[in-house]
């Protein structure tokens, strides 16, 4: 099993550009989520999904869109990138049930200039 | 709503010494509590978790944590530090089964091991 796969690993964008961060998992997990990691702030939840067709907002959803058309994939879209979105982004998944541990991808480091 | 405070953004110990990483939480419902570890350029991995039952929880790599409801704490310990323990550690809380969809992380503590 590959686990949680994120692409790309690195990305540089100019202000106003759009892009999609890809996330795929092969563990048949119902729950998937996106976090951003910033120094001194830990990880903050952006969006999450409890199954195909169901998404909801986390703590910092502004500027990001998500959709979940399949169990395996959960892409994160930046419609108009801003320097404040410079961060490391992590996708994570788990089985349904709040006590199940999150499985993380290796992250995407995004720089917006 | 849930929140987590990790006391100390950086902790440095000598190899073989006790490791103590502090975590205090706030939750309006019985919490689920987790410790994750992050090695450089990697995602987070679960060290241990508390949901219900025994308050002393043992995890991987010799780590353990004790849930103390009266102190709203979930401190992480290891009796003897090893060089390979150098990493960043995150405490996290969710609001039990009701709030399970939103896992809230602390700010992280970077652990350095001195030879």
Backbone angles phi, psi at A81, to 5 degrees: -65, 145
Q: How many CB pairs under 8 A join A and B?
A: 65
Higher pLDDT, B52 or A104: A104
Question: What contacts B42, CB < 8 A, 6 or more positions away?
Answer: A106, A107
Contact A105, A24 (CB under 8 A): no
Question: What contacts B54, CB < 8 A, 6 or more positions away?
Answer: none
Measured CA to CA in angstroms, residue A65 lies from A4, A103, B11, B25 at distances of 20, 21, 37, 30
Q: What is the mean pLDDT of residues A39-56?
A: 93
- What pLDDT sits at residue B74? 97
**Residue A99 pLDDT level (bands cut at 50, 70, 90):** confident
Count of C-beta atoms within a 10 Å radius of residue B96? 18
Residue appearing with tokens 């990001």: A64
pLDDT digits (tens, 9 = 90+) for A1-10: 789 999 999 9
- What pLDDT sits at residue A91? 97
Q: Give B14→chain A minimum CA distance, Å.
A: 24
- Alpha carbons A113 and B4: distance in angstroms, whole number: 32
Residues of A with Cβ-Cβ distance to B49 under 8 angstroms? 99, 101
- What pLDDT sits at residue B27? 84
Cα B83 vs. chain centroid, distance in angstroms? 18
- What pLDDT sits at residue A96? 79
Residues of A with Cβ-Cβ distance to B96 under 8 angstroms? 98
Contact A48, A94 (CB under 8 A): no
Q: Give A68→chain B minimum CA distance, Å.
A: 16
Q: Inspect the interface and report whether the beta carbons of A98 and B100 lie closer than 8 Å.
A: yes
Residues of B with Cβ-Cβ distance to A31 under 8 angstroms? 101
Name A89's bridge partners.
A36, A108
A58 touches chain B (CB under 8 A): yes
Q: Chain A, 62-101: which have a CB under 8 Å from a chain B CB?
A: 90, 92, 97-99, 101
Nearest one of A69, A61, A60 to A23, comparing CA atoms: A69
- What pLDDT sits at residue B96? 62
Count of C-beta atoms within a 10 Å radius of residue A33? 27
Q: Chain B, 21-50: which have a CB under 8 Å from a chain A CB?
A: 32, 34, 36, 41-46, 49
Q: Inspect the interface and report whether the beta carbons of B103 and A45 lie closer than 8 Å.
A: yes
- What pLDDT sits at residue B98? 57
- Alpha carbons A71 and A28: distance in angstroms, whole number: 7
Q: Give A96→chain B minimum CA distance, Å.
A: 9
- Alpha carbons A106 and A103: distance in angstroms, whole number: 10
Q: Give B86→chain A minimum CA distance, Å.
A: 17
Nearest one of A9, A25, A32, A12 to A78, comparing CA atoms: A12
- What pLDDT sits at residue A98? 61
Q: Where are the beta strands (DSSP E) in chain B?
A: 3-7, 10-14, 19-26, 32-38, 44-50, 56-58, 64-68, 73-78, 87-95, 99-105, 109-114
> What residue spans of chain A are helical by DSSP H?
none
Contact A21, A6 (CB under 8 A): yes
- For chain B, residues with pLDDT lower than 50 are none
Measured CA to CA in angstroms, residue A17 lies from A46, A60, A71, A112, B67 at distances of 19, 20, 28, 9, 46
């Amino acid at each position: 099993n590959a686990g949680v796969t994120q692409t790309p690993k690195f990305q540089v964008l100019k202000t106003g550009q759009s892009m999609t961060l890809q996330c795929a998992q092969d563990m048949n997990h119902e729950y998937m989520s996106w976090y951003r990691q910033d120094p001194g702030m830990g990880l903050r939840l952006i969006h999450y999904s409890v199954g195909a067709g169901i998404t909801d907002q986390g703590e910092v959803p502004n500027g990001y869109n998500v959709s979940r058309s399949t169990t395996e994939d959960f892409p994160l879209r930046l419609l108009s990138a801003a320097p404040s979105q410079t961060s490391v982004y992590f996708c994570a998944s788990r089985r349904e049930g709040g006590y199940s541990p999150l499985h993380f991808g290796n992250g995407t480091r995004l720089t917006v200039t | 709503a849930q929140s987590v405070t990790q006391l100390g953004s950086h902790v440095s110990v000598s190899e073989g010494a006790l490791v103590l990483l502090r975590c205090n939480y706030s939750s309006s419902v019985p919490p689920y509590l987790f410790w994750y570890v992050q090695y450089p350029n990697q995602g987070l991995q679960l060290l241990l978790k508390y949901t219900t039952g025994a308050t002393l929880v043992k995890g991987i790599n010799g780590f353990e944590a004790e849930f103390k409801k009266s102190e709203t704490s979930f401190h992480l310990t290891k009796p003897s530090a090893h060089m390979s323990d150098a990493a960043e550690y995150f405490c996290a809380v969710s609001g039990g089964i009701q709030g399970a969809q939103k896992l809230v992380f602390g700010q992280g503590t970077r652990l350095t091991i001195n030879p």
